[in-house]
């Protein structure tokens, strides 16, 4: 639920983009808060995409921002498939508030492979793991 992401996705005429109400976060255009959660609870999405601040070794998902946590929890509750997008620095990183667990996630998208124990946990839970290809610097 982000103004910048919605703008980019709206360029595809096959997509139908719905934004919630709520507070717009300065800097990244994220929309969060109670109004956002209330609206998210009214929908059943095919796919929900969340990010987090940390994943512990047991598969717990954590964040620092309470408004972000309640919105991510609403997405998890109301999406048929939940995609977690995060970079490698979040593996094993603690954060303050629990969002949920890897057991609630359908697929994890990241930039580098997680630690071996986490790869095993993902396999046990049936969570798809997708590693983004490295981007090459083009200085033409």
Residue 76: what pLDDT? 98
pTM for this entry: 0.86
Please state the three-class secondary structure of 95-122 as a single string: CCEEEEEHHHCCEEEECCCCCHHHHHHH
The one-digit pLDDT tens for each residue of the chain (140 residues) are 889 989 999 999 998 888 888 999 888 899 998 899 999 999 899 999 999 999 999 999 999 999 999 999 999 999 999 999 999 999 999 899 999 999 999 999 999 999 999 999 999 999 999 999 887 665 55
CATH classification number, 3-131, choose in 3.30.1490, 3.30.2450, 3.40.50, 1.20.1250? 3.40.50
Determine if residue 58 is left, alpha or beta; phi over 0 gives left, psi from -120 to 50 gives alpha, anything else beta: alpha
Domain ranges, ordered by start, for the chain: 3-131
pLDDT at res. 19: 87
Round to the nearest angstrom and report the end-to-end CA distance of the chain. 35
Instruction: Write down the pLDDT at residue 134.
Output: 80
């Amino acid at each position: 639920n982000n103004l910048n992401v919605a703008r980019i996705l709206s360029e595809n005429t096959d997509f139908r983009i719905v934004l919630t109400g709520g507070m717009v976060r300065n800097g990244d255009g994220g929309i969060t808060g109670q109004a956002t959660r209330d609206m998210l609870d009214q929908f059943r999405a095919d796919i929900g995409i969340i990010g987090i601040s940390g994943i512990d070794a047991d598969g717990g998902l954590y964040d620092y921002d309470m408004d972000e946590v309640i919105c991510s929890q609403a997405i998890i509750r109301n999406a048929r498939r939940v995609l977690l997008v995060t970079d490698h620095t979040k593996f094993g990183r603690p954060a303050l508030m629990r969002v949920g667990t890897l057991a609630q996630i359908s697929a994890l998208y990241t930039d580098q492979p997680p630690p071996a124990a986490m790869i095993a946990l993902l396999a046990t839970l049936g969570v798809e793991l997708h590693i983004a290809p490295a981007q090459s610097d083009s200085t033409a």
